Amino acid sequence: MKRPVVGSIALVLILAGGLYLAWQYKDRVREDGTRATSGAAARSAIQASFGIILPATASGVYCYEEDLEKTKMAFARFDIPTIDLPTILDQRRDGDLAFPMASDLKVDGETLGQMGAQRDARRPWWNVDRTDSGAGSGASADSRTLRNPTCAQKLGVRNSGSAQLRWRVQVCAGDLDSMTSRVYIAFSEEPTAGQGK
């Protein structure tokens, strides 16, 4: 008689723990079709939206997704060891949607400006255009500026069912210190002319 009671209590405790974790890591879905995540939930959102898996060493992970009718936008930011950058970007080399390779990254003020213009109060961590040629190391991780930022973008068209979608991926990476890079990724996708009506 004691085993069913102990088993039932254990199941209730496991269920309660699962509900607690689900509540802690839930996506914050708003009425306007946006989702803002950080930490472990952001890692999952980045994998779902961008198709890349972040290494365990990634920190300061944020993701913001927005669906406006047929237009999709996603933004991500994370800090990684500089040595991991090529591995992360090269995960999306195949298929209809390809990321710029690490070797494509170069000093590009136009792309940096375009990415900086996408700043929004709903994404306070999106400060891609805060750059400095020699930022001090005494600042907090979120307020530090990028040193020597490099950018790249890829544009393309892909088919999704009967729709043709125009997509753009922009990547900016810069050094926070000699061992750590901060990476920003902006993605947008919308129907081509005549398809969204």
| Contact assessment for residue 26 and residue 41, using Cβ atoms and an 8 Å cutoff | yes
The pLDDT, as a whole number, for residue 129 is: 75
| Contact assessment for residue 116 and residue 128, using Cβ atoms and an 8 Å cutoff | yes
Q: How far is it, in rounded angstroms, from Cα 12 to Cα 6? A: 10
Rounded to the nearest 5°, which phi and psi values hold at 168? Answer: -145, 130
In tens, the pLDDT along 82-133 reads 999 998 888 865 555 678 888 899 999 999 999 999 988 889 999 887 655 4
Task: Give domain limits for the chain.
Answer: 30-191
- Separation of first and last alpha carbons in the chain: 65
Residue 78: band (very low, low, confident or very high) from pLDDT cuts 50, 70, 90:
very high
In tens, the pLDDT along 145-184 reads 788 899 999 998 888 778 888 999 999 999 999 999 999 9
User: Hey, is 181 helix, strand or coil?
Assistant: strand
Rounded to the nearest 5°, which phi and psi values hold at 45? Answer: -65, -40
Q: Which residue has the tokens 């930490």?
A: 39
Q: How far is it, in rounded angstroms, from Cα 175 to Cα 183? A: 9
- Is 197's pLDDT higher than 50? no
List, in sequence order, the alpha helices (H) in the chain.
Answer: 2-24, 40-50, 85-89, 109-116
Q: Please state which of the ranges 60-74, 83-97, 124-138, 181-195 shows the lowest mean pLDDT.
A: 124-138
Q: How far is it, in rounded angstroms, from Cα 159 to Cα 165? A: 6
